[in-house]
Amino acid sequence: MQEMTSSLVRAFELLISLDPVLYGIIFLSLQVSGLAVIAAAALGVPAGAGLALVRFPGREAVVSLLNTFMGLPPVVVGLVVYLILSRSGPMGFLGFLYSPTAMIAAQTVLAFPIVAALTHAGIASVDPIVKDAIRSLGATTSQAARLIVSEARYAILAAVIAGYGRAAAEVGAVLMVGGNVEGYTRVMTTAIALETSRGDFELALALGIVLLFLSLVVNLALRAVQKRGALLR
Amino acid sequence: MTLSLSAAGLTKVYDGRAVVDGLDFAFQRGKVHAVIGPNGSGKSTLLRLLSLLDPPTRGTVLLHDGEDPVEANTSVRRRMAFVFQRPSLFNTTVLKNVETGLAIRGCPKRERSDLARAALRQVEMEKLGERNGRTLSGGESQRVALARALVVEPEILFLDEPTANLDPHSVRIIGKAIEKLRDGGRTTILLVTHNMFLAQRLADRVVFLFDGRIAEEGEASAVIERPQDERTFRFLTGELAG
């Protein structure tokens, strides 16, 4: 108990003293997860929207697949991305393994199904009467698509935030493809795992506090967005 | 040439039942037609077919005199407007709601907002232009929906029970706006309603629908005051079950 208390005190000291190692890790984490969620949104929002708006054979199967992939085990994603990026893999020539780029790729793969599936759900749940109103106003197919997507904008924003939550909290996949190299690929989650295994709890706790705080911020943002969306239903 | 509106053998079958059953009818250009009838008689379905929102199972909607039936395309749809029974406003400001139809038609931004404000004034909603459409009461919401339809100056206006469940104040405002449109004489209006006072006040013609067919049709005051068909009489006196 005493050790935990003193570690906690040290953790706050690190946070307050703007410890460069600590903040380097935080900054890298934000960068990796931020870029991953931008990529996941750039791919997932159009994919989810297309799935909700365009009828094609096999659509239901794709939706089921996406929903399944929302629970994708991170270590499996790590393994697959590792195999693809490893020297003998199909994209090994890029030399991305054990780099932040590989970590961004892994987090993108994890966040994509969440963003796409929740975007699809949000657009699919736009009230049919609103869709009728859009058609009755003489909208072309593309105008109608734009208006329907705009109706679901809060749901889409919530989907992206949920995707960020998934990316930022991830540890297994980024550890496998990033390698946890100090000052290069060490992010909050992997640093916590490493420091804990070393019995060095100060940095781990400080990072844990930051991670918890960020998770709180993400959840507050999500709640705010959902509340706003619900109010306007 | 203004659009005309008629149905030729118009039929819609749901689950093996003809909800609209081989309807042949020509609506009069520039007149208000009250479509009345018991629940389930096919009024809303008929409106959805005529407004090209749903395709018929059989038959056609004719919009040009003596011409072939038109495809349900956007250019024809842009000459009509629809006010639905349920609130159907978009998740944006009242003003933007009313502007949407104009934006779809490529109307310049400045003009859009002026026209939308004028339409909102007609339904006494100009003060709530910046409010979100989803935060309005039922009556306010329906008035904005009417403004959204009026602003595009439709040649044919479909109103599906626009005053159902509304407060008398909103009913009065909506009635006034329809009256004004009727007096302009340029819009063919189809008004589905259970409100016989409104039908009598606003409509030139009354179409009584029963089991997907027209049981009686004629001048509004004649049909309402001296119905010829026994079913119309029993409907108006509240004895006809749907």
Q: Render pLDDT for A7-16 as a digit per residue (tens, 0 to 9).
A: 889 888 989 9
pLDDT value of position B213:
96
DSSP string, A4-53: HHHHHHHHHHHHHTT-HHHHHHHHHHHHHHHHHHHHHHHHHHHHHHHHHH
Q: With 80 as the cut, is the pLDDT of residue B22 above it?
A: yes
**Which one of A137, A143, A151, A228 would you mutate to disrupt binding with B, by most B Cβ within 10 Å of its Cβ?**
A137
Mean pLDDT of B100-119: 96
Selection from B120, B80, B129 nearest residue B101 by Cα: B80
Q: What is the mean pLDDT of residues A135-152?
A: 95
User: For A89-98, A174-183, B162-171, B233-242, which range has the lowest pLDDT when averaged over its residues?
Assistant: B233-242
Yes or no: say if A148 and A134 are a contact pair by the CB < 8 Å rule: yes
**Residues B164/B148, Cβ–Cβ less than 8 Å:** no
What is the rounded average pLDDT of the residues A188-205?
A: 92
Burial of B227 per CB tally in 10 Å (0-12, 13-18, 19+):
buried
Cβ separation of B90 and A132 shorter than 8 Å? no
Report the pLDDT value the prediction gives residue B72, as an integer from 0 to 100: 62
| pLDDT at A154 > cutoff 80 | yes
Nearest chain A CA: its distance from B210 CA (Å): 25
Nearest C-alpha of chain A: how many angstroms from B88? Answer: 5
Rounded distance between C-alpha atoms, residue B157 and residue A169, angstroms: 54
Q: Read off the pLDDT band of A233 (50, 70, 90).
A: very low
Among the partner-chain residues B77, B80, B88, the one whose CB lies closest to the CB of A133 is B88
Interchain CB distance below 8 Å, B134 and A133 = no
Q: Which residues of B sit within 8 Å Cβ distance of A? A: 51, 53, 74-75, 77-82, 84, 86-92, 100-101, 104-105, 132, 134-135, 145, 148, 152, 158
The sheet that has B5-14: what strands, in order across it?
B17-27, B5-14, B58-62
Element (H, E) at B17: strand B17-27
Contacts of A136 in chain B (CB under 8 A): 51, 53, 77, 80-82, 84, 158
* Residue A77 to residue A72: CA distance in whole angstroms: 7
Q: What is the mean pLDDT of chain B?
A: 93
DSSP letter string over A125-138? TS-HHHHHHHHHTT
Question: Are the beta carbons of B91 and A231 separated by less than 8 Å?
Answer: no
What pLDDT does residue B66 have? 59
Q: Which residues of B133-154 are buried (b: 16+ CB within 10 A; e: fewer)?
A: bbebeebbbbbbbbbbbbbbbb
Sheet holding B205-210, edge to edge: B80-83, B156-160, B188-192, B32-36, B205-210, B213-219
ipTM, 2 dp: 0.93
- To probe the interface with B, which of A125, A136, A154 has the most B CB atoms within 10 Å? A136
Segment A21-46 shows an average pLDDT of 96
A106 has pLDDT over 60: yes
In whole angstroms, give the CA distance from residue A134 to residue A143. Answer: 9
What percent of chain B lies above the pLDDT cut of 90? 90
Going by pLDDT thresholds of 50, 70 and 90, the confidence category of residue A225 is confident
Rounded to whole angstroms, the Cα distance separating A231 from A224 reads 11
> Quick one: pLDDT at residue B64?
81
Residue in chain A closest to B76 (alpha carbons) equals A138
Structural domain boundaries, residue A183: 2-231
Query: What percent of chain B stands above pLDDT 70?
Result: 96
Task: Name which of A17-21, A132-136, B48-52, B69-73 the model is least confident about.
Answer: B69-73
The confidence band for B67, taking pLDDT boundaries of 50, 70 and 90, is low
Neighbours of A132 (CB within 10 A): 18
Percent of chain A with pLDDT over 70: 98
Contact between A4 and A198 under an 8 Å Cβ cutoff? The reply is no
**Residue A96 pLDDT exceeds 50:** yes
Number of domains, chain A: 1
Give the pLDDT band of residue B96 (cuts 50, 70, 90): very high
Q: Which of B31, B87, B19 is nearest to B57 (CA)?
A: B19
Chosen for mutation from B45, B70, B76, B88 (greatest number of chain A CBs closer than 10 Å) is B88
Q: DSSP string spanning B50-103?
A: HTTSS--SEEEEE-STTSPPPP--HHHHTTEEEE-SS----SSBHHHHHHHHHH
Output the pLDDT for position A50.
Answer: 97
Proportion of chain A above pLDDT 90, given as a percent: 84
Closest residue of chain A to B93, computed from CA coordinates: A232
Q: Hey, what domains does chain B have and what are their CATH numbers?
A: 1-74+199-242 (3.40.50.300)
- Contact indicator for A120, A6 with CB cutoff of 8 Å: no
Q: Which residue's structure tokens are 């007609």?
A: B122
Task: Calculate mean pLDDT across residues A81-96.
Answer: 94
Return the CATH number at A181. 1.10.3720.10
Confidence class of residue A55 from pLDDT cuts 50, 70 and 90?
Answer: very high
pLDDT at B242 > cutoff 70: no
| Interface touch B81/A136, C-beta < 8 Å | yes
